Amino acid sequence: MSKFIIECPRCGRYTEASTGLFAKKKIDCACGHVIDVRSEKMSSRLCPHCGNNVVFDQSRGSDARCPVCHSRINTTDSLAALVKIHCPSCSCELNADKNAAQYTCPLCDTVIDVQKQAGKEREREKGLASVIKYEGDNQTFVWKHPIEDFNLGSQLIVHESQEAVFFRDGQALDLFGAGRYTLATQNLPLLQNLYKLPTNANTIFHSEVYFINKTTQMGIKWGTDSKVRFFEPATGLPIEIGASGQFNLRVSDSRKLLIKLVGTASEFTHADVMDGVYGMKPTIAKFRAMIMTKVKSNLARVIKENNINILEIDEHLEELSLKMCEAVNDNLVDYGLFMPEFFITNIVTPDDDPNFARLKQQHADMYLKIREEQIRKAEAEASAERQTVEATTAARMKVIGAQGDAEALKLCAEAEAAEMRMKGYTYQQETARQVGLAAMENISANGGSGSGLGDLAGLGVSLGAMGSVMGLTREALNPMAANAQGMGQAMGQMMQPDGGWDCACGKRDITSKFCPECGTPKPEAKPADSWSCACGTTGITSKFCPNCGSPRRESPKGWTCPNCGKADISSKFCPECGTPKPAEPVTWDCPDCGHKGITTGFCPDCGRKKGE
């Protein structure tokens, strides 16, 4: 059976233990902890050779080695590498590894920063501070120097982002900004008035020095401890939500912060603002209640005032954050603190709440309805636009077709006119020739009877026109004239030279422009009734437009009022006296000569009586 030294895992004291069959399995430590030798002989320690925190078997005594660097870790030298410190909470004396980072007090469970506490112990052993400087971390707003007895001539070092304040009996005295100061009577006017300091440099005076960190502390977390209840402004349904995020904080007035908040405490850190825990040590979260109250009341109020839909609240996080920051700063200014930024990073919605599910369904139905209306409107606009395009296209195609037809007729008419000009006659002459040919064919078909004149007159050909026709078609009429009974003399009279005219002096059949007997000029031919075409051609005397080939439009036939004499009336009643339009006369067609539309009792061509 061999003996070895085992460390108590609770207080860190070392106790003698044994190995072997009859050795004690449990040992009572002076701190009251019962050490289980078999399970607690395995211990962890910072290796003094490689710096790693390793686990080793204490029962191996001085033969225990570091599993990393394989150096002896449990030698007498390593056991002697301990440092005495005092717990800052309960003030009990403790032995800790001088290389350890933390140590838990076995009495009050306070997690102690070994290196920091060891530095304080060394300063106390010296008795006086020759250099006074900040030794806290960057998460500390206020740090109190552990030494309270100073001598004149000590050096005070204050960094650019810090301020240092001397206190006596809770009263803030001299304030130092960034720089290096030698504590002398001329630099401590307020302290000199209180202490009546002499000019001797070795004189010791008692005071407390607080360092204030003026940097902005980032990323302090916050969150509501309960749901925020309010009525959703869009629907009026009761909703509960939660909120969380971070904020930044900095010191704005060092004296006010020390006097109203820190007091005699040794430090003021992040944990004192919201968390309420410093390491393993519970502390008072000084601003948690105030921030929670401000957030809950103002969050519900801002949502209601701005009519924010809870389903769209993420779009308003920046606006809500600014409002919360303003509300919280109204109270922080009394404690010498300022919150430059406040961030709401998360809104927790009650997804399992039936009211919230109903709210989401209503919002979805409303969105779908609006979307359907937008789709129907877009379809109607597209249909109307499509119909407009189709109508415009159809109209354009119709115009293009009409223009094409007119162009074709125009080209045909121009071709016929060119052919006529090449042959030496006009369109009117050609038309008269064709009418004459048709009349002669009709006469020939009737066997040369006297009814042929009636047929020719029924075609609307006057005697002058017939003479013109005969002048153009002598050769065509010669064979037929031999068979015409009773028409020889009439045909002889109508067979006049082309273009002949009679002068007032008695000269007949003149073909020149002036009379050869008296020199009288040829009278101008009476112009026929002219008309205008839709294509723009004016002064047309033919039945068809020579430009586009469109036929002549018939002028409306009006009637004359038998009561007041108003002529060319197109309506059913006279616009002057209101007399109704008389009934149309009954017409009849002559069966002998074929004359149509006769309104009298006898045919004007052959004299046949109506009804015989």
E strand map for 169-271? 171-176, 179-182, 204-206, 208-213, 217-223, 228-231, 238-251, 267-269
Amino acid at 402: A
Structure token digits, residue 214:
């003026």
Report the relative pairing of strands 140-144 and 179-182 from DSSP bridges: unpaired
pLDDT at 598 (0 to 100): 80
Nearest by Cα to 221 from 315, 349, 345, 329: 345
State how far the Cα of 566 lies from the Cα of 580, in Å rounded to an integer: 12
Nearest by Cα to 198 from 166, 141, 243, 153: 153
CA R_g for the chain:
64
Q: Where are the domains of the chain?
A: 217-350, 427-494
pLDDT at 475 (0 to 100): 44
Long-range contact set of residues 473-481: C-beta below 8 Å, sequence gap at least 24? 473/433, 473/436, 473/437, 473/440, 476/436, 476/437, 476/440, 477/436, 477/440, 480/440, 480/443, 480/444
Distance of CA 355 to the CA centre of its chain: 30
**Residues in the chain, how many?**
612
E strand or H helix at 398: helix 354-423
Nearest by Cα to 243 from 264, 222, 257, 262: 222
The answer to whether 493 and 470 have CB atoms below 8 angstroms apart is: no
Q: 3-state DSSP call for residue 212?
A: strand
State how far the Cα of 449 lies from the Cα of 306, in Å rounded to an integer: 110
State how far the Cα of 52 lies from the Cα of 359, in Å rounded to an integer: 58
The answer to whether 336 and 253 have CB atoms below 8 angstroms apart is: yes
Ramachandran category for residue 513: left, alpha or beta (phi over 0 → left; psi -120 to 50 → alpha): alpha
Give the homologous superfamily in CATH for domain 217-350: Band 7 domain (3.30.479.30)
Phi, psi of 584 (to 5 degrees): -65, 135
Q: At a CB cut-off of 8 Å and minimum separation 6, what does 134 contact?
A: 143, 157, 158, 159, 162, 211, 213
pLDDT < 70 stretches in the chain: 1, 46, 48-51, 62, 74-82, 99, 123-130, 169-170, 184-205, 275-284, 425-427, 443-499, 524-529, 553-557, 584-586
Tell the residue number behind the tokens 């225990």, with chain if given.
Answer: 64
Beta bridge mates, 305: none
State how far the Cα of 242 lies from the Cα of 226, in Å rounded to an integer: 7
The answer to whether 4 and 19 have CB atoms below 8 angstroms apart is: yes
Report the relative pairing of strands 208-213 and 140-144 from DSSP bridges: antiparallel
pLDDT at 341 (0 to 100): 93
Phi, psi of 371 (to 5 degrees): -65, -40
- Alpha helix ranges (H) inside 283-316: 288-305
**Assessment of whether the complete model's pTM goes beyond 0.75:** no
Beta bridge mates, 206: 149
Structure token digits, residue 278:
């410093």
Q: At a CB cut-off of 8 Å and minimum separation 6, what does 76 contact?
A: 62
Amino acid at 95: N
Q: At a CB cut-off of 8 Å and minimum separation 6, what does 537 contact?
A: 545, 546, 547, 548
State how far the Cα of 407 lies from the Cα of 591, in Å rounded to an integer: 44
E strand map for 306-439? 337-348
State how far the Cα of 47 lies from the Cα of 54, in Å rounded to an integer: 7
Q: At a CB cut-off of 8 Å and minimum separation 6, what does 439 contact?
A: 452, 455, 456, 459, 461, 466, 469
Count other Cβ atoms within 10 Å, centred on residue 171. 10
Amino acid at 554: E
E strand or H helix at 277: strand 277-278
Q: How many CA atoms lie within 13 A of 470 on its CB side?
A: 22
Nearest by Cα to 528 from 462, 436, 455, 596: 462
Phi, psi of 137 (to 5 degrees): -100, -175
The answer to whether 266 and 251 have CB atoms below 8 angstroms apart is: no
Q: At a CB cut-off of 8 Å and minimum separation 6, what does 574 contact?
A: 561, 563, 564, 566, 580, 581
> Is 57 buried (19+), middle (13-18) or exposed (0-12) by CB count in 10 A?
middle
The answer to whether 156 and 183 have CB atoms below 8 angstroms apart is: yes
Beta bridge mates, 223: 244
